[in-house]
Amino acid sequence: VGGRIKPVSPSELALHNSINDAWLAIRGRVYNITHYLPYHPGGPEELMRGAGMDATELFDKVHPWVNYDSLLAKCLVGPLSFDRPDGD
């Protein structure tokens, strides 16, 4: 299914932090990791440490060599944007 690409603000990202609905951002790109969780070699619990947030630092601390962008190509939600003052 070709999902639509849309910008995601940090506060929207933060809503997706559960095992059945998990998003994470790395280097300005937001991915829906929900379906990747069972396949993560480090286990779902480890991957969930980065859910709902900008996980760039965490990711780089553990395995900067991993090609997340190709592994998660189909899981891309869109670019990480900024929160607007009016909350939109």
Q: Give residues in contact with ligand HEM (CB under 6 A).
A: 36, 40-42, 46-47, 49-50, 55, 58-59, 62-63, 66, 68, 71-72
Residue with Cβ nearer ligand HEM (6 or 35): 35
Residue with Cβ nearer ligand HEM (71 or 76): 71
Sign of dihedral through CA atoms 82, 78, 21, 67? Answer: negative
At its nearest, how many Å lie between ligand HEM and the CB of residue 3?
17
Residues whose CB is less than 8 angstroms from the CB of residue 12 and which lie 6 or more positions away in sequence, other chains included: none
At its nearest, how many Å lie between ligand HEM and the CB of residue 84?
26
